[in-house]
Amino acid sequence: MDGEELTEQETALYDRQIRVWGVDAQRRLSKAHILVSGMKGTVVEFCKNIVLAGVGSLTLVDSREVTEEALSANFLIPPDENVYSGKTLAELCCDSLKDFNPMVRVSVEKGDISSFGGDFYGRFDVVVISSCSFATKKLINEKCRKVSKRVAFYTVDCRDSCGEIYVDLQNYTYSKKKLDETDECQLQYPSFEEAVAIPWRALPRKVTKLYLAMRVIERFEEAEGRNPGEISIADLPGVLKLKKELCDAQSFNESHVPDALLERLVSDTSEFPPVCAILGGILGQEVIKAISGKGDPLKNFFFFDAIDGKGIIEDISNPNPGS
């Protein structure tokens, strides 16, 4: 983008959203660089949203080949073997996303997301990862935190008809409009490792069960050396056993993590498209807020479950974080 002013083309295209978040936010968006890994349905939704919003660039990482499951919730890839054969998920999504907004630079980065160094992550303002193991989430989160400029970090995962978003904005200052005034607010986010290390007994009594269930599934897949989502109903006994172990280890009543919920999460691991749209939308809004520095960001987990229809924010952090 040349200069500071939005071009006439941008003003015409972005008119309706400029009326929502203002010209200044739109300018900041046009300078933002986003990295995304794990091109499944929810992430595809997020990418659509962020490209339409008019970010500076979007870099995609996913070297997996097309499978039927990959196609099931992905509207960017035409189900035509002649088109998708030989290309990775990232490459195919990149081709389609470019069409949504010619003003956004969409590209593919080859390689494994966990192999990139800190200087790589420093190129971005926002990093979103999905379909990653527990260890990889921690690793990339740490790398982002080590970069001297702030890199906003998000994870998003959808299993069947529920999903989770995690947000790490580190030490975050932003402006909040109150009537005619603008206040400066500050939030301190724990790292992913810090957040999940908080003993379950220390969490609010009514904390969303989904948070706990996700952690059990995550730990199970890690212990068994599985790829995220590589789990089935046959694993349920093993999952319930692990749940008991985790709960006993922290003197936590295991009835707080419903077996029925765990059963749901292992039985159907494919994403339910309406939930992809919801999570991708909420995540899109969060990233736009973080880039523009305006509006209350989500701290620090968001959960949605189609069964009860609630979209809930949970603050999983120590009340007195160490400085």
According to CB under 8 A, which one of 272, 291, 292, 297 is a site residue for other proteins? Answer: 272
7-13: which pairs have CB atoms within 8 A and are 24 or more residues apart?
A: 9/103, 10/54, 10/103, 13/54, 13/101, 13/103
| Residue 65 interacting with other proteins (CB under 8 A) | no
Minimum CB distance to other proteins, residue 177 (Å): 11
CB of 13 to other proteins, least distance (A): 6
Judged by CB under 8 A, the residue of 147, 203, 236, 312 near other proteins is 312
* Run of H or E residues at 174: strand 171-178
Beta carbon of residue 274, minimum distance to other proteins (angstroms, whole number): 4
Among 38, 190, 228, 280, binds other proteins (CB under 8 A): 280
| Shortest distance (Å) from residue 289 CB to other proteins | 10
Q: Answer yes or no whether residue 164 interacts with other proteins by CB under 8 A.
A: no
Contact 106, 60 (CB under 8 A): yes
CA separation for the pair 286, 266 (Å, rounded): 28
Q: Minimum distance between the CB of residue 293 and other proteins, rounded to whole angstroms?
A: 16
User: How many angstroms separate the CA atoms of 299 and 317, rounded?
Assistant: 9
Size, binding site for other proteins by CB under 8 A: 64
Which of 65, 86, 99, 173 touches other proteins (CB under 8 A)?
99
Instruction: Give the count of beta carbons closer than 10 Å to the beta carbon of residue 234.
Output: 8
Residue 153 contacts other proteins per CB under 8 A: no
Residues with Cβ within 8 Å of residue 208, at least 6 apart in sequence: 301, 303, 312, 314
Q: State in angstroms the smallest separation of the CB of 242 from other proteins.
A: 22
232 binds other proteins (CB under 8 A): no
Binding mask of the shown chain, residues 189 to 228, with x at each position contacting other proteins by CB under 8 A:
----------------------------------------
Report the alpha-carbon distance of residue 11 to residue 17 in Å, rounded.
Answer: 10
The CA–CA distances, whole Å, from 90 to 37, 171, 235 equal: 9, 31, 30
Stretch that binds other proteins, among 50-58, 110-118, 179-187, 239-247 (CB under 8 A): 50-58
Residue range at the interface with other proteins (CB under 8 A); choices 30-38, 177-185, 243-251, 294-302: 294-302
Specify the pairing of strand 33-37 against strand 57-61. parallel
298 vs 167: CA distance, rounded Å = 7
Q: Which of these, 186, 185, 183, 147, lies nearest to 33 by C-alpha position?
A: 147
Q: Report the run of H or E that residue 164 belongs to, with start and end.
A: strand 162-168
Q: What is the rounded distance in angstroms from the CA atom of residue 1 to the CA atom of residue 27?
A: 9
Helices 209-223 and 259-267 cross at an angle (nearest 10°) of 50
Tell which one of 30, 37, 49, 141 touches other proteins (CB under 8 A). Answer: 49
Q: Shortest distance, CB of residue 71 to other proteins, whole angstroms?
A: 8
Q: Which stretch binds other proteins (CB under 8 A): 148-156, 190-198, 216-224, 268-276?
A: 268-276
Report the interface residues with other proteins, using CB under 8 A.
Answer: 5, 11-21, 23, 41, 45, 48-49, 52-54, 72-79, 99-100, 102, 160-161, 264, 267-268, 270, 272-278, 280-282, 284-285, 288, 295-296, 298, 302, 304, 306-314
